[in-house]
Amino acid sequence: MTFLDMDARFSNIVSKGQREGITIDDYNVLKQIERELLTALRRTYGNYDYLNNDFYAAVEEMYKKGMSGVLTYEDYLSFKEKTVGLDEKISSYFSSEVAGENEEILYGNVCSVIDEIDYNKLSTGLSSEQLKYIKEHAYLLPLAVANNTHPKIKMYGDNSYMFLCQFHVEHTPSMGVTDLKNLMHCFACHTNGNAIDYLMKYEDLSYSDAVQLASEIFMFDTGVKEAGFKELVAKYQDAILSEQYQELLHKGFDRLNSRGIKNIGNINVEDAYNYRFGMIERIRRGDVDPTFQCDGVKRLVYLNKKS
Ligand SMILES: [Zn+2]
């Protein structure tokens, strides 16, 4: 991008932001402009800064030596050597300053807009029905299995599994995942929540990124391309396809069956397990969830409200 391109794209994004809000694509363009400007500014000022430090270091060294009374002719020569070309570089710095000035102003403007962007409040662009679907069908159990470090995952109650807590350091498991309710709770550090909360905390993501990651893991097609979660998606899908996760599901289903429990709250046990086993097969084949309806999302970025 040339300077004029960057300037024009920046102005477009700002005026669009004032009219209708900034999309995640706009945000990414802003970040790209920021990076390119920073590179350009480093190119302009970088050498000068380096030489400047080098020069002052040489002066300081000379001064210290001189004060102790052992300044030699060699010292003088090495000092001259370090300052050779200094005038030339300083004059080239001043002549390029004009070219750098516009870039510097634009860089300042881009940075201040980026500072105002509240990335954590980035809208998912999904409806509340779609978010509800994702929260209900993005399962916590395989996520916890993916990050499990304890050799045995024990069951407790009707439908819960105990893990070593993945949010604090401990040696006996305190983190319970209740599969059909799709919730977790640590009895020691009290971390709790659903699969989206889990991904936000464990992978250090914003809410909308956690929703996007969950959508990619469980293959709800939101139409967002290349969100950059390839490795994380692979890690969690491996856990979904693992024998360990399927064994846990069988154990849970058998236990509820043997106790004659058909419903937990308003959740029908058989339906819930059918969906889970269906989901495993679907992901094995690489098919999107046909029940999840979405024709593309428009994620908007919110600006921080200045008080
Ligand atoms: Zn904990």
pLDDT at 126: 86
Residue-wise pLDDT tens digits, 121-165: 777 888 888 999 999 999 999 999 999 998 889 999 889 999 999
- Taking the CA atoms of the chain, what radius of gyration do you get in angstroms? 29
**Residue the block writes with tokens 């401990």:** 170
Rounded to whole angstroms, what are the CA distances from 265 to 41, 252, 261? 61, 16, 11
* Residues 269 and 256 sit within 8 Å (Cβ to Cβ): yes
Distance of CA 5 to the CA centre of its chain: 28
HSE-up (13 A, CA, CB side) for residue 120: 5
Residues 86 and 107: their CA atoms lie apart, in Å, by 28
Q: How far is the CA of 144 from the centre of ligand 1 (A)?
A: 13
Residues less than 5 Å from ion ligand 1, measured at CB: 165, 167-168, 186, 188-189
pLDDT at 307: 43
- Domains of the chain listed by start with CATH number: 3-118 (no CATH), 128-303 (3.90.580.10)
Q: How far is the CA of 168 from the centre of ligand 1 (A)?
A: 5
**Residue the block writes with tokens 């030596």:** 65
Q: How far is the CA of 181 from the centre of ligand 1 (A)?
A: 19
Residues 46 and 307: their CA atoms lie apart, in Å, by 37
* Residues 212 and 222 sit within 8 Å (Cβ to Cβ): yes
pLDDT at 110: 85
Q: How far is the CA of 163 from the centre of ligand 1 (A)?
A: 10
Residues 178 and 103: their CA atoms lie apart, in Å, by 55
pLDDT at 63: 67
Residues 54 and 81: their CA atoms lie apart, in Å, by 11
Q: How far is the CA of 169 from the centre of ligand 1 (A)?
A: 7
* Residues 33 and 1 sit within 8 Å (Cβ to Cβ): yes
Q: How far is the CA of 194 from the centre of ligand 1 (A)?
A: 15
Residue 302 gets which letter from DSSP?
E
Q: How far is the CA of 179 from the centre of ligand 1 (A)?
A: 18
SS3 307: coil
Residue ranges in the chain whose pLDDT is less than 50: 50, 97-98, 307
Parallel, antiparallel or unpaired: strands 175-178 and 263-264: unpaired
Question: Nearest to residue 235, comparing CAs of 115, 116, 142?
Answer: 142
